[in-house]
Amino acid sequence: MVPETMRKLTLQLNNKNCQRVLIRVVDYNRMRWTLTALRTNLDLLHRVTLKAANGRVILIDSPSAIARPRLLDTHVFVILWDGLHSYFAFVRALPHSVSPRSFDYVIVGSIHDLVTAYPTPPIPLFSKVLKTKLEKDNKPALSLSDTHRQAWLFCRTRLRRLRNSVYDRHRHLQLCGDPFIVFCGVIRPPRAVLKDLMSGVEDEQVLDRFSSLSSCSLTAPSHATKDLATELFTVLRGYVTRDPERIACAYAFANLLHRVLTITCIAEGTSRLFLSEFGRDKHIDPYDTLHYHQHLYLDFGSTRGPDVIYPRTIDLIQNQKRYLQLRLIDTETSFLMFLSATSGSEFVEICRHHAALALGEYSDLTARGF
């Protein structure tokens, strides 16, 4: 059950008719990412504006909002934060009387092979040119008072550092020191997280095989991890079919393998590696704050798709952090074709190459005295 404390905000479009748009999402992080998308993704804004001209519009990320009577004559944009995985969960929770075709879908985690799996053509939440738009500081297409905007910015970017220092003082002090290569997120997930990443696919054998990731070392010599990654990548090649849920699951697992092996290869070249693993470590967020600028941040993208921009990328851009994007494939590449054309040893070389890029960027950073 989605908590009743869902965040909601009403915005006014800066157009001739000044229509209003309601956003109702689960937490404040999703709220601010949605606001950024509406300010910078002109295609999304255009579609929202067209619908608003004919009635009320709401952006939601939970099916619980659909049951509200006042939404019956409202056009709904559904934000799918975990791509196809979120779509299937959303559809399963819909009342039987409501068709999935009734909505526009806005996605994070878009895989080229899965675009046709949605009942209507999905809209990427974030524009590929978001970085340029933020740097130019275009006039926002939404009306939000300067007082609210400045208060929100202050609370997030300054008080986040205070929260980090209270929640995990030792790791906060590490981040206040000399430069690290930093990554925070899922790396070696526990079994429960792996099961969630399987997007509803029931396959205990594959789950058992990938559960071995949770016990592999990220700092020991990489030959053991390399052998494991090669083996598991080969398992994926035999596992995937044209079934959309299996494709989504296989991509998520391939992304994890990419993270694990690349990080292990980086650890061979430097001990200055700061990791905060989801499901293992206390949560600390060096992304959404104006502090900790001296580090190099790794951006592996979403486990749900190779989007150029996804939520954590926005935090890095807006807080002017130095980061390196490492994607297994680009957004126009078929994941099925990549999987069939890439051997286990070639996959290892991709990870080694990405590790070399990270080490090179880090060397440049430290040579300039950050």
**Which tens digit of pLDDT belongs to each residue from 155-205?**
666 777 878 888 888 999 999 999 999 999 999 998 888 988 886 778 888
In this structure, of 256-260, 310-314, 359-363, the range with the lowest mean pLDDT score is: 310-314
Angle, to 10 degrees, between the axis of helix 28-40 and the axis of helix 311-318? 80
Residue position matching structure tokens 């390399």? 226
The CA distance from 147 to 49, in Å, is 25
Domain map (residue ranges) of the chain: 7-144, 160-367
Kindly state the helix (H) or strand (E) to which residue 143 belongs, with its residue range: strand 142-143
Q: In the sheet where 181-185 sits, what is the strand order?
A: 273-277, 181-185, 296-299, 322-325
pLDDT of residue 71 exceeding 60 = no
129 secondary structure, DSSP code: T
Q: Which residues contact 109 (CB under 8 A, 6 or more apart)?
A: 80, 81, 82, 83, 84, 85, 86, 302, 303, 304, 305, 307, 310
- Token pair of 85 as six digits: 């995985």
* Mean pLDDT on 203-223: 85
The CA distance from 63 to 101, in Å, is 14
pLDDT of residue 224 exceeding 60 = yes
* Mean pLDDT on 124-143: 60
Where helices occur in the chain by DSSP H, the ranges are: 28-40, 42-52, 83-93, 130-136, 146-167, 169-175, 191-197, 204-210, 223-239, 244-269, 311-318, 335-341, 344-367
* Mean pLDDT on 134-142: 47
Confidence of residue 93 (pLDDT cuts 50, 70, 90): confident
| pLDDT score of 274 | 95
The CA distance from 353 to 335, in Å, is 19
| pLDDT score of 16 | 57
| pLDDT score of 3 | 41
The CA radius of gyration of the chain, in Å to the nearest whole number, is: 21
Overall size of the chain counted in residues: 370
* Mean pLDDT on 123-143: 62
The number of beta carbons lying within 10 Å of the beta carbon of residue 117 is 17
The number of beta carbons lying within 10 Å of the beta carbon of residue 218 is 18
| pLDDT score of 2 | 38
| pLDDT score of 126 | 92
In this structure, of 22-36, 61-75, 298-312, the range with the lowest mean pLDDT score is: 61-75
**Mean pLDDT, the chain, whole residue set:** 85
pLDDT of residue 148 exceeding 80 = no
Torsion angle (degrees, nearest 10) of CA 218, 219, 224, 225:
20
Phi, psi at residue 345, to the nearest 5°? -70, -35
Higher-pLDDT residue of 21, 9? 21
Residue position matching structure tokens 């299996």? 246
Confidence of residue 72 (pLDDT cuts 50, 70, 90): low
pLDDT of residue 238 exceeding 70 = yes
Higher-pLDDT residue of 219, 59? 59
| pLDDT score of 114 | 94
* Mean pLDDT on 125-148: 56
The CA distance from 197 to 254, in Å, is 11
